[in-house]
Structure formats: structure tokens, C-alpha cells
Amino acid sequence: MFTARDLSSPVEAVRDEYAPNARIVDCERDFETLPPAQAEELGLFADALEPASYPADWLPADAPKLLARYASSDFTVGMPGDGSVVWTRQTDPPTVIVKPRVEGSPESFVDFLLAEALVELDLEVPEHFIGFFEETYPDLNRAVPLDSNGTYQVAAALYDGWVGLQTREVFADWHGDHPELADAWQDAGTRLEDRVSGLPRAVARGETEFADATELSCAAIKHAIELPAPFAALDTDAYRDHGPEYAIRWAEKTFDSLAD
């Protein structure tokens, strides 16, 4: 199911610098969450498997079944919203997995996604938002008046934005050492600018769901482009420093404002 991936020289250089022990593999089929039988095949590329699990009381009663399974002692890898490249520290050494859906994307952009995963491994951020919110996730669930899947989407987006506040500082310094990757990072941001700037109007007209707008805005944070309100409040040092507490307060204030 997995094969070792050949890397371009820019990605090799980033791996050497940020995550020299990481294994990078292609997966033969797309997935959101790999069930234990398939996830265990990663053991062919690792020295050990170390399944993660989280306390049951970190999850609200209506948490999506996939989230409950991920938080359990089952060895699962990946979750909805992870994108085309996913990484895990549940293997030793860590593994970066490339999904088939990258086929057709510009090679430079795929290289950037791989480099991004390696930087995130170096930053030692949690593998999933449940490791970010921890016991405060039920608080976010109460602050977000959406169904469990909508709340999941908002939570994943908020976590992605928090990580992006950290990774973009790395990407912005790459113009000298990794110019091809820096160009890909900047180009991806340019492509997002018009979509992001029009989000408030799209939400007001009912053309875009708020959870989708949150996902797109938070994905844009790592590209250092200007965000509209209310998402601009997430593009701050305060969010980077206070993380879950800030995210929950933002959700409370934002949805109260929308209700008014």
C-alpha cells in the first residue's frame, strides 16, 4: 500500500534541515483515516509503531465517530481535513504520507506541501486538533452553534491557522536558502487572495457556509495574506501565544455577533 517516494533536491534539503529521520512514502489510494490494518503497514518503513490515544472526556457526547475512533487506542492515521499530505509521529521515526490526489498538481506545489509537513514535524505541533484543544474541546463545541461535523471543521481550521502562524515565519525566510519552495509558498498565497477577500460577502449572501469560510481563511494564514473580519482577529501574536483559550473566545464572540 505504501512505497518510498523519490524526493526533489529542494525537499531533500528541507528534510535534512528540519526532519532528517522522517520517512516519506506514497500511498496507493486516497484516504481520510487509515484503519488499523492499513496503518500498521507503515511498520515496514518504521522501527516502531506508537499509537496515540486521548482521554474520552476530551470529546463531547456528539463527537463524530471518526474522531472518537482516532482518540481511542486504535492505531489510526489521518483525519478529514488533513489534505493531500499527512504526517504522523505514531511511527518511529515519523512518516510523511502523500495521497494520490496530488496527481495533476504542479510539482512545485507538491514539493511545498512536503516541505510544510517536514517543518511541522520540526515544530513538534500536535498531530491533530484534539491534541491542541485537549480538555477544552467541549468548550469549543459549546461555543460553536453548528452540528458536530461543522464544529469539527471549525476546530480543524482553527488549529490549522494556529500552526500557520508558526510555519509562515519559516517559509518567509526561504527566499535565500530554498527559493523554489519560497516561490511556491508565495504563489499559493497569491492564488488565495481574491477568494479570501470575498468571503464576508459570500457568507452574507448564503453562498458559502461559515465553517467553509473559516477553513479557507485559516488555511490562508500560513501564506501571510490579509484576512477580512472576523478572521483577521486570528492573524495575531495573541492567538499564537494563547492558542486554544484564544480560539474559544474568538468563536464565542464571532457567533454571538453573527446571531445579532
For the stretch 199-236, pLDDT in tens is 999 998 999 999 999 999 999 999 999 999 999 999 99
Predicted confidence (pLDDT) at residue 184 exceeds the cutoff of 90: yes
Q: What is the pLDDT of residues 139-166, one digit of tens each?
A: 999 999 999 999 999 999 999 999 999 9
Q: Are 105 and 180 in contact (CB under 8 A)?
A: no
Measuring CA to CA, which residue among 222, 126, 111 is closest to residue 169? 222
> Cα angle vertex 116, ends 102, 89, to 5°?
95
What is the Cα–Cα distance from 209 to 212, expressed in whole angstroms?
A: 5
Residues in CB range of 158: below 8 A, 6 or more apart: 129, 140, 214, 218, 234, 247, 250, 251
Grid cell, residue 143, equals 461555543
CA distance 179 to 159: 27
What confidence score (pLDDT) does residue 192 get?
95
For 160-181, what is the HEC assignment?
Answer: HHHHHHHHHHHHCCHHHHCHHH
Alpha helices in the chain (DSSP H): 9-18, 36-39, 65-71, 107-123, 130-133, 137-143, 148-171, 174-177, 179-197, 199-204, 210-221, 237-259
C-alpha cell at 237: 501574536
Rounded Cα distance between 15 and 74, Å, is 29
pLDDT in the model for residue 4: 97
pTM: 0.96
Using 50, 70 and 90 to split pLDDT, how confident is the model at 258?
confident
- Residue 260, pLDDT above cutoff 80: no
Give dist(CA 151, CA 141) in Å, integer: 6
Distance of CA 97 to the CA centre of its chain: 14
Instruction: Give residue 44's pLDDT.
Output: 94
Share of the chain above pLDDT 70, in %: 100
pLDDT in tens, 55-100: 999 999 999 999 999 999 999 999 999 999 999 999 999 999 999 9
Identify the burial level of 28 via C-beta atoms within 10 angstroms of its C-beta, where 0-12 means exposed, 13-18 middle and 19 or more buried: exposed
Q: How far apart are CA 165 and CA 81, in angstroms?
A: 18
Domain boundaries, the chain: 1-107+116-127, 138-259
C-alpha cell at 244: 486554544
User: Residue 198: is its pLDDT beyond 90?
Assistant: yes
Percent share of the chain, pLDDT over 90: 97
C-alpha triplet 84, 113, 171: angle, nearest 5°: 150
Amino acid code (one letter) for 167: T
**Which residue in this structure is represented by grid cell 524526493?**
7
Instruction: Give the three cell numbers for residue 57.
Output: 472526556
Main-chain dihedrals φ then ψ at residue 95, nearest 5 degrees: -125, 140
pLDDT at 163: 98
pLDDT at 206: 92
| Phi, psi angles (nearest 5°) of residue 177 | -85, -35
- Decide if 160 contacts 116 (C-beta within 8 A): no
Given a cut of 80, is residue 248 above it in pLDDT? yes
Is the pLDDT at 249 greater than 90, yes or no?
A: yes
Q: Summarize pLDDT for 5-54 with one digit per residue, the tens.
A: 999 999 999 999 999 999 999 999 999 999 899 999 999 999 999 999 99
